[in-house]
Amino acid sequence: MSALVFAALYMIGDPVLMLASPEAGDAERELIRQSFGLDLPLWRQYLIFLNKVFVHLDFGKSFLTGEPAIGLILDRMPATLELATAAMLFAVLIGVPLGIYAGLKPESFGARSVMTGSVLGFSLPNFWVGLMLIMVFAVFLHWMPAGGRGPVQAFGPIQLSIFSWAGWRSLILPVATIAVAKCALIVRVTRAATRECLPQDYIKFARARGLSEARVLGVHLLKNILIPIVTVAGLEYGQVFAFAVVTESVFSWPGMGKLLIDSIITLDRPVVVAYLILTVVFLSLLNLVVDVIYTILDPRVQSKARA
């Protein structure tokens, strides 16, 4: 992965052209090249890079600002994290009940509307939904700001905007933009799982024991359909976190996605590489967490692993 990213990035463009002023002569350019180690052959650059990353945990400095790349990214991470988390939370909290409802009464008008809505939800392009929301709620109604992040509170090095009303006002539109698509997906997964689980004998047996409908659905059904839901929600959460580029650009949300797109445009290699490697680490961790949740949800997974 690191080799792939490294090679791909080094093949496109020459950052020296971006760094040096247009009036700079060849000698000045050569100087810049040497100071960043860009004159060395590619394989040596890669080995130096590997040595720094894995031995010293040093991802290099941004060509543009001269600050450590990793620090730039970590600074932006809380903004993306709160955006992604809030969006997935909404998607799950709204999507799961709607999905169960659509699975219980597949023929009803309400269920059909939900399913039609979900097709729209994940077919509409993200940026378009974002722009429409801005147009309606920010431009016409003036309810919310059109972009940017609200006031933040600092918790040590982490700055979050979710603890104030003003913060939420800025957050709600980008969150809605992401949540619409993710919610649509969760609705479909939940509905399919519900339809599969309902005819099972243990649901009927639960009813035959005289359990209340709330318990049958809320415990017996839910515990069995959560596995596919957690799988999809986990994957999607990773997606949102790592590639919220479009939404963050539309709402000029100062998160990692915005940083990534800016860095790609300015050919700020260390930032892009550090970003992608961090993303890989994050996604791997996320998958691990999802696997751990499996064993909690389904005791059969645990005994298979032990056997």
Rule CB under 8 A: which residues touch another protein? 199-202, 204-213, 215, 219-220, 223-224, 297-300, 303
Structure tokens at 91: 């998607």
Least separation, in Å, of the C-beta of 12 and another protein?
Answer: 50
Burial of residue 143 (CB within 10 Å: 0-12, 13-18, 19+) is exposed
> Would you put residue 267 in left (φ > 0), alpha (ψ -120 to 50) or beta?
left
Separation between Cα atoms, residue 248 and residue 244, nearest integer Å: 6
Least separation, in Å, of the C-beta of 237 and another protein?
Answer: 23
Least separation, in Å, of the C-beta of 227 and another protein?
Answer: 9
Residue 167's CB: how many other CB atoms inside 10 A? 18
Residue showing tokens 């000029």: 252
Least separation, in Å, of the C-beta of 182 and another protein?
Answer: 25
Separation between Cα atoms, residue 50 and residue 56, nearest integer Å: 9
Residue showing tokens 């006002």: 169
C-beta closer to another protein: residue 65 or 302: 302
Residue 23's CB: how many other CB atoms inside 10 A? 6
C-beta closer to another protein: residue 54 or 202: 202
C-beta closer to another protein: residue 127 or 202: 202
68 DSSP 8-state letter: B
C-beta closer to another protein: residue 212 or 284: 212
Smallest CA-to-CA distance from 118 within 97, 100, 95 is with 95
C-beta closer to another protein: residue 184 or 217: 217
Least separation, in Å, of the C-beta of 188 and another protein?
Answer: 22
